[in-house]
Structure 1
């Protein structure tokens, strides 16, 4: 009896200690959001709106088949920028790289300070043939109506090009003098990989020994209802982007008549391999940028969610299980597998001699292309299936503790004071990955507040941006320049 009482007492003491420790962790969780400092200047709103509207009207479309690109339209767009931003083109140095990508250099007072780079792209994706009639306003009209600016590129990413140049033009009019050099770099082929644009800019600057404190590109945005337990909109700054790989699974062997099939056909074996991969999946792990995201948003969560994330050392398996229930959050913590193409057979009564499948994978930082190939081969367990993997590794992971990240976070808070600003892992690609070669850190953030519907419009029908969002973007870019100017 005494032994049982002692056991119960010990268990009760452990439970009490557990409650004390976990409650302490929850109640002492401090915010990681800086206090906002509101912008007090004024912007020439009419000029800015008119300039973005006109910029959208240039059909600077990138095609996978580069021979289809109308580079004369790109030349006209560049001339338009020269006319629209006279102070920028009078006081900054402009260099055209590879004919159509642009590098503006704003010289600062102290050459010893590492420069900061802001980058965007002015090429856009095509409008899918046959969908033009579904647009409320013509896709290259630049129509301004109902408080919105309509057209392809309004969000991705002429808003960045025009927003940055409007910010610089305004700062020049105020007599602003930078302490460090600033570079504003605009690629012309981001939508098809950036090999002729951003990559060439990087090679050009690298040959001159230019190194950046940080580079900021497009990427994450401020999104409503993004994180469970957080009522405020959450702005996410990409500190890394996933790698993108294509895996081909193929098998060759004798075919034959369908009336006498083998127990395991070529189609069946490849199908079985895909089924095993989808059932197994890559292991999930809440670490790196995904973990950073929740460390930044946890202090702003409702009490129950805050309790869970403040005590991740206990609840991590539960958190990971919850995150795996939705594709968007699952992609935050594991390399993803998406079969996209299956090829086999030509005749209904003939067994194909070859079957193949294409799988698109998005790689977590830390998972290499070789890791992916090895995982597929181990999971498939079929030595006759040939596995080929090609693609790009995940980018490096940038710091969330440096003044570089804090300058971007502070700038976002200055404009969007109710938003929670946090790091995250970007699933799509951007030009930022090219700048990893010459920058201490690279970040990805589009300074606009969006809904899930807005996100779907970026490469889709009815792309548009609200005038308020666009003006806020200009203010943000001014804030980034000023915040970066204050730091070492």
Structure 2
């Protein structure tokens, strides 16, 4: 794990910035580190850098299972390198903590899976069903040449999975209202990601003689209306399933409320809206991220625009979202365009596949409740929907709210214990899936 973090396998939106020498070095490192895996399993690359391993099972009548992850990482923001306690690509281990970009997202998945497979091969374990291990190299920018290309290839070969597990949810503490135990949240769906642009054009002029409403003011007013109104909350789907799973372990008061959800749903939703993380479980979210207007301090801008990132709930269409924005801002001169993707399908939480993930997690984290949830961020799992009955998203690590802030941020890290437990989880999962 430690050395894997020293390779700067960075994804950039501009693919011309990729330093594929670092990717080549990382692939050479994998082959040197896991000789048993490479010598005893089928292996191929897709688009040179996406990796596919096949462990052939003893019963070809059983559907295969896929474990996937990615080894690309996001860049370190310029001029923040000195803010790291240990270098972002140092792979330093200090006081039981591993430091570096990729510890949480997501070389822990790649290395954890390969460590688990190599261990099981050494122990003489033979899976009943075919097992595929698939690693992308551009997940951080959408996975078009990695995971999507893998899926295209496997689809041509008519290979379909019982389930695919990717990274996503984790084991969290004090982040689910009313529950004191750790909760392992397994993503059964992920929100869509859409971009709305609000733009307006009109006369500019000298700042000494402004109209009562300027282009900047009108765009700002539109954003204010959206933030004040918000999309309608609704406790349904994966969010509702999460609380049904954890309800038995809640404090008495919360248990009573959730046991009578029909009566108390408005109160439950009010509780969830109190925190951003739980609010995102029950509504499409609005996040203004870019505002552009003006070039001169004493000249009114002729154009103004704003970009809003939306994370889309299952069931919400981009068409409906656009109509909501148009109706809410109520300004015919502001043009609204929207692009992006809707939420993925919702995978089963009452299937054997989910129970395998659940049991494997419990085998390692004995005191945790393992429950389905709705993942807010994107993952490569969305690509595998085409060839898999179910897709799940789970990082087998106990993390805190501070860890979530470090993911893609400064001082990304994971404990050695968490890394070892991730390996144990993948060992357990492979065994549970091959009974």
**Superposition TM-score, scaled by structure 1 size:** 0.87
- The alignment status of 1:198 with 2:116, answered yes or no, reads no
- The alignment status of 1:68 with 2:17, answered yes or no, reads yes
1:239 to 175, 188, 192: 188
1:263, distance to aligned residue in structure 2 (A):
3.3
- For these two proteins, the number of residue pairs brought into alignment is 435
1:372 to 303, 321, 342: 321
Could you say what secondary structure the match of 1:78 adopts?
helix
Partner of 1:169: 118
Q: Indicate the RMSD between aligned Cα atoms, in angstroms.
A: 1.2
Partner of 1:90: 39
Partner of 1:109: 58
Could you say what secondary structure the match of 1:282 adopts?
coil
CA distance in 2, matches of 1:133, 1:268: 39
Could you say what secondary structure the match of 2:355 adopts?
helix
Partner of 1:158: 107
Partner of 2:137: 188
Partner of 1:362: 311
Structure 2 vs 1, CA of residues 102 and 249 (structure 1 numbering), >3 Å: closer, same or farther? same
Per-residue Cα deviation, 1:183-205 (whole angstroms, up to 9, x for no partner): 00000111111111111111111
Could you say what secondary structure the match of 1:59 adopts?
coil
1:144, distance to aligned residue in structure 2 (A):
2.0
1:463 to 403, 412, 424: 412
1:380, distance to aligned residue in structure 2 (A):
1.4
1:91, distance to aligned residue in structure 2 (A):
1.1
CA distance in 2, matches of 1:351, 1:471: 59
CA distance in 2, matches of 1:262, 1:160: 56
CA distance in 1, matches of 2:170, 2:410: 19
CA distance in 1, matches of 2:296, 2:97: 53
Report the structure number with the largest CA radius of gyration.
1
- The alignment status of 1:416 with 2:397, answered yes or no, reads no
- The alignment status of 1:403 with 2:352, answered yes or no, reads yes
Per-residue Cα deviation, 1:79-122 (whole angstroms, up to 9, x for no partner): 11111111111111001000001000011112221110000111
CA distance in 1, matches of 2:184, 2:233: 24
CA distance in 1, matches of 2:179, 2:348: 24
**Superposition TM-score, scaled by structure 2 size:** 0.98
Per-residue Cα deviation, 1:255-276 (whole angstroms, up to 9, x for no partner): 2333443333322222221111
1:174, distance to aligned residue in structure 2 (A):
1.1
Structure 2 vs 1, CA of residues 349 and 202 (structure 1 numbering), >3 Å: closer, same or farther? same
Partner of 1:226: 175
CA distance in 2, matches of 1:171, 1:80: 20
- The alignment status of 1:178 with 2:127, answered yes or no, reads yes
CA distance in 2, matches of 1:79, 1:461: 28
Q: 188-197 or 250-259: which moved more?
A: 250-259
Structure 2 vs 1, CA of residues 99 and 276 (structure 1 numbering), >3 Å: closer, same or farther? same
- The alignment status of 1:391 with 2:328, answered yes or no, reads no
Per-residue Cα deviation, 1:136-189 (whole angstroms, up to 9, x for no partner): 222212122211222111221111111101111111111111111110000011
Structure 2 vs 1, CA of residues 267 and 130 (structure 1 numbering), >3 Å: closer, same or farther? closer
1:389, distance to aligned residue in structure 2 (A):
0.3
Partner of 2:395: 446
Partner of 1:129: 78
